[in-house]
């Protein structure tokens, strides 16, 4: 202190600093070097050149999970929080010193995008804490490994490299990744290994993982994908049917993409191809046994041998069952007999037919039921144009509404029958290619033409001519008209109600009786060559003839006079 009797302002300031320890305050907030003078009760006593020593816990000098290796006389770096606390000791911190030094070092590595070494020492929400040599960083769970890790315990308290993804010194945040290091290392290894591999090469590997679409095989540091379609020539529903995790497999390298470093593998390529010579082995029209392996909406797949499957389209499954789901005709694993329809070895496709391996029911029906045969069946369905009848052989025949009954309209004839009713009909025609059977029911009615005639082979009334007037006998009186017959054994036909006379009163069927005879004109023939008659047409024709013969339009004679003369001439004749 100055000895002058009159101290200056500077002398007073120096005296104040000496009294308050101001010379030591410049150490606060800084990292300084100190010497360990003693170790007491897990505390290190450190002299940093201040008025008093400081005490620092030994654990601050050790990495997580390790013990501190210190002795008296060792020189260490510490951070000075305060020069003197309430107890007169210096407040020192090894953690703060390591943290400050670590941040300087980490910022430099982050700028260079370099790697840093750290230790995973704790678990927090969403990830883990990592000690980076004094600074604590956050390791997200997704950045621990390339694949999800269930147990992280083996990785904890183990020094290992990390990549800094983000850091903010002001907020004290650091985010690191272990996965980035692994991916970089793996990429380097893959690049080196891929250079030694070639397409077509056969190599041994170990199955690491199995998915629904294939398996990943370790080829010695690099993985390749063995797709399920390349495991075998036969159908494989799931890779686990062929291989298991840990199996050693012999595979061929099918394809290498050096840009994406992806490798495609195959096992079936090491087997003989069953499709070689398939066209000679499976000729078109040949019949073979197979097993149903899969059923879809459009058909069923049948395995003829391991590696060769064919498709039976839904349209080729049954002769009689139409628009039915294949699952209602066949079942998985069922043994079936099929016929070869088409073989395409290039596209590895075989079209099969299930119904072709069975007898054609339409051909069988045509052989056993020639035209004119009377059959009996149940009405399966009624449509707006006819009736479908169930016939022997599980086939259906159709009765057109015009062939249901004589003398009534088709709509009225359809109304006479119902679904499930047992009926009889005659076979009119069988078309095997179009799978159609034409039937007739009215041809079996009393007085109808023979079946052969109804089918187009001629008729009993073929000698009759249109507009010919003949004498007919009433066979049956109906509401819609009269069933009549020419002579005693002549052709039978029908007179509609409207053809019974010109006047409404004459068009009543009930004015006629069975056995009654009268004249009528042939006005035409129906589909089965059966004649149709008309009294009305005959009357009109007679009137026209009378006018032409006995009068003219300008003679002044009335129609009554003309008809009277005509009748008189007829009687005299």
Q: Whose CA is closest to 407, among 371, 458, 442, 356?
A: 442
For residue 191, give the H/E element and its range: helix 179-194
The strand pair at 349-353 and 308-313 is best described as: parallel
Q: How confident is the model at residue 569, as a pLDDT?
A: 57
Q: How far is CA 159 from CA 69, 129, 153, 162, in A?
A: 18, 13, 13, 10
Confidence of residue 16 (pLDDT cuts 50, 70, 90): very low
- Residue 552 pLDDT level (bands cut at 50, 70, 90): low
Per-residue DSSP letters for 72-113?
TT-EEEEEEEES--TTS-BEEEHHHHHHHHHHHHHHHHHHHT
What average pLDDT does range 191-209 have in this prediction?
A: 84
Percent of the chain with pLDDT over 90: 15
d(CA 274, CA 247): 26
Crossing angle of helices 559-572/535-550, nearest 10°? 100
Which domains, from first to last, does the chain contain?
25-97 (2.40.50.140), 113-183 (2.40.50.140), 197-270 (2.40.50.140), 284-351 (2.40.50.140), 361-445 (2.40.50.140), 469-549 (2.40.50.140)
Q: Using one digit for the tens of pLDDT, what is the confidence trace for 28-65?
A: 656 677 787 787 777 777 777 777 777 777 776 776 66
> How far, in Å, are 203, 454, 472, 530 from residue 488 at the CA level?
99, 20, 9, 16
Widest CA span of the chain, in angstroms?
192
Which of helix, strand or coil describes residue 495? strand
Structure confidence at residue 461 (pLDDT): 46
- Between 52 and 253, whose confidence is greater? 253
CA gap 417, 425 in Å, rounded: 13
266-314 residue pLDDT tens:
998 888 888 888 888 889 888 999 999 899 999 999 988 888 889 999 9
**pLDDT at site 227:** 92
Which pLDDT belongs to residue 456?
43
* Rounded Cα–Cα distance for residues 478 and 496 (Å): 9
Query: Given phi > 0 = left and psi -120 to 50 = alpha, else beta, which region is 420?
Result: left
Question: pLDDT tens across 404-461, in order?
Answer: 887 677 788 888 888 888 889 999 988 888 888 999 988 887 655 544 444 444 444 4
- CA triple 399-485-372, angle to 5 deg: 35
Given the DSSP bridges, would you call strands 214-218 and 223-227 parallel, antiparallel or unpaired? antiparallel
| Beta-sheet pairing, 287-296 with 308-313 | unpaired
> Whole-angstrom Cα distance, residue 409 to residue 54?
123
Least-confidence region, from 11-15, 211-215, 240-244: 11-15
Please state, in angstroms and rounded to a whole number, the distance separating the CA atoms of residues 52 and 176: 40
SS3 60: helix
Q: Is the pLDDT of residue 483 over 50?
A: yes
DSSP code string of 430-484: EETTTTEEEEESGGGSTTPPPHHHHTTS--TTTT--TT-EEEEEEEEE-SSEEEE
pLDDT (mean) for 113-131: 89
Give the Cα separation of 354 and 357 in Å (integer): 6
CB 104 within 8 A of CB 114: no
3-state secondary structure of 424: strand
Average pLDDT, the chain: 80
Structural contact between residues 429 and 437, judged by C-beta atoms closer than 8 angstroms: yes
pLDDT tens profile 325-376: 999 889 988 999 999 999 988 888 899 999 888 888 888 888 888 888 899 9
Q: Tell me what pLDDT residue 572 has.
A: 60
Read off the pTM: 0.43
What is the rounded CA–CA span in Å between residue 476 and residue 184?
104
Strands 436-440, 422-431: pairing is: antiparallel
Which tokens go with 349?
A: 């496709």
pLDDT in tens, 139-187: 998 998 888 887 888 888 889 999 999 988 888 889 999 998 888 887 7
How far, in Å, CA of 326 to CA of 295, rounded?
7
> Does the pLDDT of residue 3 top 60, yes or no?
no
Q: 449 Cβ partners below 8 Å, 6+ apart?
A: 443, 459, 460, 461, 491, 492, 528, 529, 530
Instruction: Give the C-alpha separation, 267 to 239, whole Å.
Output: 12
The 3-class secondary structure across 15-39, one letter per residue, is HHHHHHCCCCHHHCCCEEEEEEEEE
Nearest 10 degrees: Cα torsion 497, 501, 506, 512: -60
pLDDT tier at 104, thresholds 50, 70, 90 = confident
Least confident of 4-18, 60-74, 329-343: 4-18
pLDDT band at 2 (very low <50, low <70, confident <90, very high): very low
pLDDT over 80 (residue 567): no
């Amino acid at each position: 202190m100055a000895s002058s009797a009159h101290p200056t302002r500077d002398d007073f300031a120096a005296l104040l600093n000496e009294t308050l320890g101001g010379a030591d305050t410049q150490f606060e907030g800084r990292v300084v070097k100190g010497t360990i003078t003693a170790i007491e009760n897990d505390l290190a006593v450190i002299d940093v050149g201040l008025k008093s020593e400081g005490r620092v816990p030994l654990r601050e000098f050790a990495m997580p999970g390790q013990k501190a290796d210190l002795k008296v006389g060792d020189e260490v770096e510490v951070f000075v929080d305060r020069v003197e606390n309430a107890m007169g000791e210096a407040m020192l911190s090894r953690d703060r010193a390591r943290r400050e030094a670590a941040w300087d070092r980490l910022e430099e590595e982050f700028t260079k995008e370099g790697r840093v070494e750290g230790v995973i020492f704790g678990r927090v929400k969403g990830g883990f804490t990592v000690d980076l040599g004094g600074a604590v960083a956050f390791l997200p769970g997704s950045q621990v490994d390339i694949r999800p890790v269930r147990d992280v315990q083996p990785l904890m308290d183990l020094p290992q490299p990390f990549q800094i993804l983000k850091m903010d010194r002001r907020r004290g945040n650091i985010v690191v990744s272990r996965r980035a290091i692994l991916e970089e290392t793996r990429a380097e290894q893959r690049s080196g290994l891929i250079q030694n591999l070639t397409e077509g090469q056969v190599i041994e590997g170990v199955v690491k993982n199995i998915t629904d679409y294939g398996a990943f095989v370790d080829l010695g540091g690099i993985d390749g994908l063995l797709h399920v379609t390349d495991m075998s020539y036969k159908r494989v529903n799931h890779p686990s049917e062929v291989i298991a995790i840990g199996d050693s497999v012999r595979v061929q390298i099918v394809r290498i993409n050096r840009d994406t470093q992806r490798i495609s593998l195959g096992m079936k390529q090491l087997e003989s191809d069953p499709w070689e010579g398939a066209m000679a082995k499976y000729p078109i029209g040949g019949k073979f046994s197979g097993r149903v392996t899969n059923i879809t909406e459009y058909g069923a797949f049948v395995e003829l041998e391991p590696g060769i499957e064919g498709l039976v389209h839904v349209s080729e499954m049954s002769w009689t069952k139409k628009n039915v789901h294949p699952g209602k005709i066949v079942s998985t694993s069922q043994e079936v007999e099929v016929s070869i329809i088409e073989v395409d070895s290039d596209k590895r496709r075989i079209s099969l037919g299930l119904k072709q391996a069975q007898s054609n029911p339409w051909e069988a029906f045509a052989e056993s039921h020639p035209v004119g045969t009377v059959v009996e069946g149940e009405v399966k369905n009624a449509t707006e144009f006819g009736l479908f009848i169930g016939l022997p052989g599980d086939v259906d025949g159709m009765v057109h509404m015009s062939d249901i009954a004589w003398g009534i309209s088709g709509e009225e004839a359809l109304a006479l029958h119902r679904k499930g009713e047992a009926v009889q009909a005659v076979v009119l025609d069988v078309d095997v290619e179009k799978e159609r059977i034409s039937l007739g029911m009215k041809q079996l009615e009393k007085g109808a033409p023979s079946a052969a005639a109804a089918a187009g082979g001629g008729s009993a009334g073929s000698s009759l001519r249109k507009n010919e007037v003949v004498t007919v006998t009433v066979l049956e009186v109906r509401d819609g008209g009269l069933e009549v017959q020419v002579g005693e054994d002549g052709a039978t036909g029908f007179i509609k109600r409207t053809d019974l006379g010109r006047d409404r009163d004459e068009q009543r069927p009930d004015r006629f009786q069975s056995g009654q005879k009268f004249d009528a004109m042939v006005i035409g023939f129906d589909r089965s060559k059966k004649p149709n008659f008309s009294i009305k047409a005959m009357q009109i024709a007679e009137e026209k003839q009378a006018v032409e013969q006995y009068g003219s339009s300008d003679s002044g004679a009335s129609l009554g006079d003309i008809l009277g003369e005509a009748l008189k001439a007829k009687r005299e004749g």
